[in-house]
Amino acid sequence: MTGILVHGGRLIDPASGLDERLDLLIVDGRIAQVGADLPLPPGTEHLAASGLIVAPGFIDLHTHLREPGQEHKETIASGARAAARGGFTTICAMPNTEPALDSAAVIDGMLQRARDVDCRVLAIGAVSIGRRGQELAELAALRDAGAVAVSDDGDAVADASLARRAFEYLSDLHIPLAEHCEDPAIAQGGVMHDGAVSARLGLRGQPAAAELSIVQRDIALAEAAGAQLHACHISTEPSLQAIADARARGLHVTAEVTPHHLFLTHDVVAGSGDDLLYDTNAKVNPPLRTESDVQACIDALVAGVVDAVATDHAPHAAVDKQCEFDAAAFGISGLESAWPVVNSLVESGRLTLSEAIERLTIGPVRAWNLDRGELSGLGTLRVGAPADVTLLSTDAVSRVEPDSWASMGKNTPLAGHTLSGVVAATISQGRIVWDGREQ
């Protein structure tokens, strides 16, 4: 028997509404007991949590691990280590690997390699073979191999007839189609938000309408098919309004926002100095938008129109970003800065602490119905749940220093920002995978 007693912390479990000073006993990878002043059983490790928040481990619905195929950007192991440091105990790996996660065999292989890493890795299968948007992948086989959703993320399922058939086919498989909402015909290769900053910088812009177009199309297709649409990384006010309307009509539409779309505007591409920055670390898809879009994302998160904060962790090698803006890769490495960014909304009074944790834990679990089988209790601190626990501080201040990150992707426009909120320790499946000390 192996055990950990998490002692003296403030337990916050949004799923049960719990917010009390309680101890937590973990035995054999499950939560065994929750109570005040629990004794330390013999042979049990003691983890001091006084002054810290004890929360369920975070769940990321949107992580890019670059393995297989681009291990120079990130491996499953390095991504999982980054997750642990960021307080994440479950991450859902997007299928845009090389090869894509478009067959049961490729998913099997990925999950095999993910077995002993520092967090739980779930797979998202591809919608189409090779993510090429032409022929449907064997979606039932992907689900049976463990895919918790399907997505061609990186690209939308641009062909409306294929999207229609995908939603129809998924209607009895009970997994969502996680859509990258960007109509390529409208976005036309835009490298940032189409607005005042793109006009100033002479960069091709992608308008908000490119996102709205796919959101509206997919709401119609999902409704007609009786399937679930999960709208990934929504970034604009009109799309959020469309999603709010669909949910109000009772449709099975879920959505996520990223930390960066909650925190940064397109201004950061230009920078704040005298010289224009063309900051390739701020090149991300969907692009950073306007201040009113940021506020709309926050409002939607507060209102529960958006179920989850998901990182869209997209690590890249330095050379992918040390180049002309047009040539740079899209993406922000996000696992290790997610908590301080979300915590900034708590600090500013937009979210309660419990709401913030909810959007990182039980929120995503409910969105994708992950609380089943051996994952029963995921995203909660209830007795019997997987022992995935995160110890957080809300007031400790730290500088974002990607060079000290576990992720191989150092690409973030937040580098150098001072934020409050630190992940003090992470327990994944009963094992302490992060204790604040670099190994």
Partner 1 sequence: MVTEPIAEPLDAPSPRVPFDEPITDWRHRHLLDVDTLSREEILRVLSTANAMAEVLDRPVARTPALRGVTIFNLFYEASTRTRSSFELAGKILGADVINVSGSGSSVEKGESLVETLNTLSAVGADAVVMRHQASGAPWLAARTIDGHIINAGDGQHAHPTQALLDAYILLEEFGDLTGRKVVIVGDILHSRVARSNIWSLTTLGADVTLVAPRPLLPASLASGADEPEHPLALPSVRVESDLDQAIVGADAIMALRIQNERLRGKLLPSSAEFARRYQLTAERVAKASPEAIVMHPGPMNEGVEIAVDIAHGPQSRIEAQVSAGLAVRMAILFLLIRGGA
Contact positions toward partner 1, by CB under 8 A? 194-205, 207, 267, 270, 274-278, 290-292, 319, 322-327
Nearest distance, CB of residue 159 and partner 1, angstroms: 20
* DSSP label at residue 404: G
The string of DSSP codes covering 276-335 is: ----GGG--SSPP--HHHHHHHHHHHHHTSS-EE---B----GGGTSS-TTTSPP-B--G
Nearer to partner 1, 13 or 194 (CB): 194
3-class DSSP assignment, residue 399:
strand
- Cβ proximity to partner 1: between 290 and 343 the closer is 290
Distance from C-alpha of 211 to C-alpha of 132, rounded to nearest angstrom: 19
Q: Which class for 135: exposed (0-12), middle (13-18), buried (19 or more C-beta within 10 A)?
A: exposed
Q: Closest separation between CB of residue 276 and partner 1, Å?
A: 5
Residue 425: strand, helix, or coil: strand
- Nearer of residues 167 and 325 to partner 1, judged by Cβ: 325
Query: What's the N-to-C CA distance of the chain in angstroms?
Result: 25
Shortest reach from residue 287's CB to partner 1, in Å? 13
Helices 208-225 & 237-248 angle (0-180, nearest 10): 20
Half-sphere CA count of 431, side-chain side, radius 13 A: 10
Cα pseudo-dihedral 404, 405, 410, 414, rounded to 10: -90
- Give me the sign of the Cα torsion angle 221, 174, 228, 309: negative
Strand partners, 124: 149
Decide: helix, strand or coil at residue 197: helix
CB of 156 to partner 1, least distance (A): 21
- The nearer residue to partner 1, 167 or 278, going by C-beta atoms, is 278
Q: Residues 150, 126: contact at Cβ < 8 Å?
A: yes
> Tokens 């090149």 map to which residue?
283
Smaller CB separation from partner 1, 285 or 426: 285
Give the bridge partners for 162, in sequence order: none
Task: Identify which of residues 88 and 325 has a Cβ nearer to partner 1 in the complex.
Answer: 325
Q: In angstroms, what is the minimal distance from the CB of 190 to partner 1? A: 10
Q: How far is the CB of 295 from partner 1 (least distance, A)?
A: 13
**In the complex, what is the shortest distance from the CB of residue 136 to partner 1, in angstroms, rounded to a whole number?**
31
**What residues are annotated to the active site?**
312
Choose between 209 and 220: whose C-beta lies nearer to partner 1: 209
- Work out whether strand 58-63 and strand 88-93 pair parallel, antiparallel, or are unpaired: parallel
Whole-Å CA distances, 359 to 44, 194, 366, 377: 31, 29, 10, 16
